[in-house]
Structure 1
Amino acid sequence: MAAKVTLRDIAREVGLSPTAVSLVLNDRPCKISAENRRRIKEVARRKRYIPNQIARSLVTQHSQTVGLVVPNIESRFFSSLARRLELGCRERGHALFITNSDDSSENDSGLVRQLVNRGADGLFVVASGESGTDERLAATLSQLPVPYVLVDRLIDGLSCDKVAFNNEAGGYLACRHLLDAGHRRIACLANLASNTGRERVAGYERALAEKGVEPDPALVLDSTYYIPAAYEAARALLDTDATAVLATSDNIALGLLKRLYERGLRVPRDYSVVSYDNSAVDVLFEPALTSIEQNVDELSAAALELLFRRIEEGARGELGEPEERILMPRLVLKASVRTLS
């Protein structure tokens, strides 16, 4: 294998110092003639010089890397988000380091510190749904020396850039659709330990109130965003008189459907179901589930625009005011809701 070409090799051939070569190849301001700049770049191209990113970061004070913390990379929603963020970072000349917190606030804080200590120029953070996340993670984020964007799950009272969908509106749209189909006994499977789950339940309850339906606490069933937990939570559904269910994530819907199908129950014959995320269940089950869509392209585009604007502002020493963007979800109609006569 040929030896790796170094700055010294290029400097020796063009008759200039390694410092001069480094400044030119890193596009740094310097008093070097246009002809010498041309010669340096030509020799670097001919010798197939590959920049040492670690050395370059010491010169530019940028690592060309960005970090992402997600709660559950196995979730189709979060894996889709990670993919689109990675593509967007790559288009901007940055590598994305993806980490998984396993929905643990302790892991959130540790991973954030680890990414910053490894030189990330900025961070995308999707907080865990664990109770107590706000205080632990907020304390860590408030001390960061690099820009970051909270994505999908927000922390109240933390002054920073934030991008998320309106969870209350999503819960409302889902429940309102079931109400318009004639259902009145509507169950809701939600992660009550998370802000997103509680907000979706709030939207569900607002839709019930508008129709004059008294919310029944026995129909609100607690589940984390994991399939086995939803499968267990759905056991209690079978003891109610519900005719319809709002499953507040696709993973929760998968756990629910597994429980129903094991009992010989079918959607929408026995239960009408509206899911949330519109990301996975159509591939695995029939009929296709009516769902609340959170457009991942829209979410990732907003997060990328905000973070890279902050990185550029930081390089100029001109940080703008934090911005919060709340996006609107939409109802995607399919075949999982039966209209009651």
Structure 2
Amino acid sequence: MKPTIKNVAKAAGVSTATVSRALANKDNLIRPETSARVRKIAQQMGYHKNVAASRLASNITKTIAVIINYTQTDFWQTILDGILKRAHERGHKVIIFSAGEHDPQRLNETINEALEHQATGILLISGRIDHQQVNTLSNAHTPYRLISIYNLRHPEHRFISSDDVKIGIEATNYLLQKGHTKIGLVGIDHSSTGQQRLFGYQKAMTNAGLIIDPGWIHYGNYSYENGKELFQEIQGRGLTAVVAGSDMIAAGLIKEAARNDVKVPDQLSIIGIDGSIIDEIITPELTTVNQDFFKMGTASVDNLLDDDQSLFIPTKIVERASVKDLN
């Protein structure tokens, strides 16, 4: 049965007005036992999310909790800038919480802390998340949005993110257009983000009629230090180009390449993924698939407050000096 206020009223044998009063905790207007029964039925039907969204839209507390769940790369800082700007424009306060590095127990504690501060909506910034953590958010009975992470197998968990499959395709196709055929994928993880980028890479290579050597794919954690470590893994593989799982991975690869007298891009071309300040700091400057993290932040606030559907933010390739044109 669809979780609407009419269906809740029908299941409870009361009027829609009584349901509204019960879910608004107006126990002085109806019998406490009726109120408790209605709330239980609404929760069982999943109507609590609709109620929470309604409270958010009516600006009862005007407080948004932002939970940062992953800091291996620096993308979250620009997202946060966008959130703060748009929340201020829409008259909402923001409370910022850190939930560590993909720590399910700490995330659960942080969500409870956010709810203790009477936050009426939660924005979770993460580079990876598992089903248990998403369930923790769902069980909080509070509107939420996943930012920079998604799983299309569970459309009920709404998100604002770049399309990671498209990112994998765009980055690989760019290198193919530059004449590269021996292309590696380095630094992705086993989460949905990494697997979606892997799928995009595989799709682009397959469409180009190319065979992928398993030794061209190396997993990591998106960090700078990990990029330096992974450079040793790609040496001797015959690669002319690499799609780095993040700009930080790319920076680590470039740093270690210089230490090993491997010239970028003459001997190894590298394209990153993110679009952070590091792209213009390293030498050579990094070509990257640019994600609009600021827009991701502003859009997440609008999406949460307006109770909109999931949204992909467009990406674009920014050309710099780290890729050689073999044509």
TM range (shorter): 0.7 to 0.9
How far, CA to CA, are the matches of 1:225 and 1:116 in structure 2?
Answer: 31
Q: Does 1:302 align with 2:299?
A: yes
In structure 1, the residue matched to 2:140 is 144
TM-score, length-normalised on structure 2? 0.76
Q: In the superposition, relative to structure 1, how do residues 103 and 282 fare at CA in structure 2: closer, same or farther (>3 Å)?
A: same
| Match 1:216 to one of 194, 213, 217 | 213
The CA deviation at 1:178 is 0.7
How far, CA to CA, are the matches of 2:99 and 2:222 in structure 1?
Answer: 13
In structure 2, the residue matched to 1:335 is 321
In structure 2, the residue matched to 1:195 is 192
The CA deviation at 1:152 is 1.1
8 Å contact kept, 2:145–2:304: yes
In structure 2, the residue matched to 1:255 is 252
- 1:35-60 alpha-carbon deviations (Å, 9 max, x no partner): xxxxxxxxxxxxxxxxxxxxxxxxx9
| Match 1:153 to one of 149, 152, 158 | 149
The CA deviation at 1:229 is 1.9
How far, CA to CA, are the matches of 1:187 and 1:73 in structure 2?
Answer: 25
The CA deviation at 1:167 is 0.7
Code of the aligned partner of 2:252: G
The CA deviation at 1:252 is 1.2
The CA deviation at 1:128 is 4.9
The residue correspondences of 1:267-286 to structure 2 (distance < 5 A) are 267-286=264-283
Q: How many residues align?
A: 268
In structure 2, the residue matched to 1:8 is none
In structure 2, the residue matched to 1:236 is 233
In structure 2, the residue matched to 1:134 is 130
In structure 1, the residue matched to 2:107 is 108
8 Å contact kept, 1:250–1:280: no
The CA deviation at 1:94 is 2.1
The CA deviation at 1:158 is 5.4
How far, CA to CA, are the matches of 2:59 and 2:86 in structure 1?
Answer: 21
How far, CA to CA, are the matches of 1:238 and 1:66 in structure 2?
Answer: 47
How far, CA to CA, are the matches of 1:207 and 1:201 in structure 2?
Answer: 10
Q: Does 1:99 align with 2:97?
A: yes
How far, CA to CA, are the matches of 2:162 and 2:139 in structure 1?
Answer: 26
Q: Give the secondary-structure state (helix, strand or coil) at the position aligned to 1:99.
A: strand
The CA deviation at 1:249 is 0.9
Higher relative contact order (CA 8 A, sep 6+): 2
Code of the aligned partner of 2:123: F
How far, CA to CA, are the matches of 1:161 and 1:221 in structure 2?
Answer: 30
The CA deviation at 1:271 is 0.8
Code of the aligned partner of 1:266: K
Structure 1, unpaired ranges of 5+:
1-59, 311-321
The CA deviation at 1:79 is 0.5
In structure 2, the residue matched to 1:49 is none
In structure 2, the residue matched to 1:87 is 85
Code of the aligned partner of 2:237: T
How far, CA to CA, are the matches of 1:326 and 1:297 in structure 2?
Answer: 13
Choose 1 or 2 for highest CA Rg: 1
8 Å contact kept, 1:167–1:200: yes
How far, CA to CA, are the matches of 2:112 and 2:228 in structure 1?
Answer: 35
In structure 2, the residue matched to 1:124 is 123
Moved more, 327-336 or 238-247: 327-336
- Provide the alpha-carbon RMSD of the alignment: 2.0
In structure 1, the residue matched to 2:45 is none
In structure 2, the residue matched to 1:13 is none
Code of the aligned partner of 2:117: R
- 1:182-215 alpha-carbon deviations (Å, 9 max, x no partner): 1111111132322111111111111111111111
Code of the aligned partner of 1:121: T
Q: Give the secondary-structure state (helix, strand or coil) at the position aligned to 1:193.
A: coil
Q: In the superposition, relative to structure 1, how do residues 333 and 265 fare at CA in structure 2: closer, same or farther (>3 Å)?
A: same
Code of the aligned partner of 1:112: I
In structure 2, the residue matched to 1:69 is 67
